[in-house]
Amino acid sequence: MTLRVGAHTSIAGGVHNAVEEQREYSGNCGQIFSHSPQVWQDPNIEDENATQFREQSADNDIGPWVIHSSYLVNLCTPKDDLREKSIGSMQKEVDAADRLGIEYVNVHLGAHTGAGVEQGLDNAASALDELDVPEGVTVLVESDAGSGTKLGGDFEHLAAVLDRSEQDLEVCLDTAHAFAAGYDLSTPEGVNATIAEFDEVVGLDALACVHLNDSKHECGTNKDEHAHIGEGHIGDDGMGAFVNHEAIRDVPLVLETPSENGKSFAWNIDRVKELRA
């Protein structure tokens, strides 16, 4: 299967512009925000631009695409008002994905803020169950770095939500987050062990997407700060082993690497292609 690797791209000036930006990076899959992720806002998508996005993605064989939900969404929250806002925001995201022909909507579980792990997981599963997810769209629960009361850092959290929810959910594994949460991906042995544990706890059949990021911080620090591919604490050995692992070879890889030190998404996509044997 063709390597699917791309980047998180901007919809500034219209969602269709994300396709051209992806082409500039030489990516063939990708991720977008449907609006500013820092505020409660409806997706910013015009009908004409949605049509252009679908057509240009198909013409250039770019996909799958992922919509990343707002950073304000907290599915685990015990607060009724935040819960309702989160559910409403997610409903708008899955509807936007349907309009755009996008397969996935990605979401962090959020923080239980004192309600406790089990209650937080129950809250997340029941919140997701209130969504009317269009056919052809799948919600992905993303692994987390696990700081504070945030859930999703342990694979068991992801498995619990998939088990407790009535939705047909799948998972997005973020390599930097998993590393920060204590799963060592810096060596081939560590990669093998982590993927084996993911398979045992969650199941590789539920892995729909990977956020491929290196980490600026050491394993187990719970610090979420992304680095260029191969230039963080995961490094070339870990990244090379990960992207070449048999279980990962057909999974789309979406980069959320920084643009700094003269290196952009294009540099990181090229690096992934070089590491892929």
Query: How would DSSP label each residue in 98-118?
Result: HHHT--EEEEE-EE-TTS-HH
- Per-residue pLDDT, averaged over 170-174, amounts to 98
* Domain span including residue 251: 5-275
CATH number reported for the structural domain that contains residue 11 in this entry: 3.20.20.150
Q: Torsions phi, psi of 237, nearest 5?
A: -60, -45
The per-residue pLDDT for 191 is 98
| Average pLDDT over the chain, rounded to an integer | 97
| Residue 1 pLDDT exceeds 70 | no
Give residue 277's pLDDT band: very low, low, confident or very high (50, 70, 90). Answer: confident
Number of domains in the chain: 1
The per-residue pLDDT for 2 is 83
What does DSSP say about strands 150-151 and 110-111: parallel, antiparallel, or unpaired?
A: antiparallel
Question: Which strand (E) or helix (H) includes residue 214?
Answer: strand 214-215
- Per-residue pLDDT, averaged over 224-246, amounts to 98
| Residue 96 pLDDT exceeds 80 | yes
Cα-based distances in Å from 72 to 65, 67, 146, 181: 21, 15, 16, 21
Of all residues in the chain, the percent with pLDDT exceeding 90 is 98
Kindly report, residue by residue over 251-274, the tens digit of the pLDDT.
999 999 999 989 999 999 999 999
| Residue 6 pLDDT exceeds 70 | yes
Preceding amide of 64 cis, omega within 30: yes
Angle made by CA atoms 195, 175, 108, in degrees to the nearest 5: 105
The per-residue pLDDT for 44 is 84
| Residue 27 pLDDT exceeds 70 | yes
- Per-residue pLDDT, averaged over 31-37, amounts to 96
Is residue 181 within 8 Å of residue 173, measured between CB atoms? no
Reported as half-sphere exposure (CB side, CA atoms, 13 A), residue 273 has a value of: 15
Give residue 72's pLDDT band: very low, low, confident or very high (50, 70, 90). Answer: very high
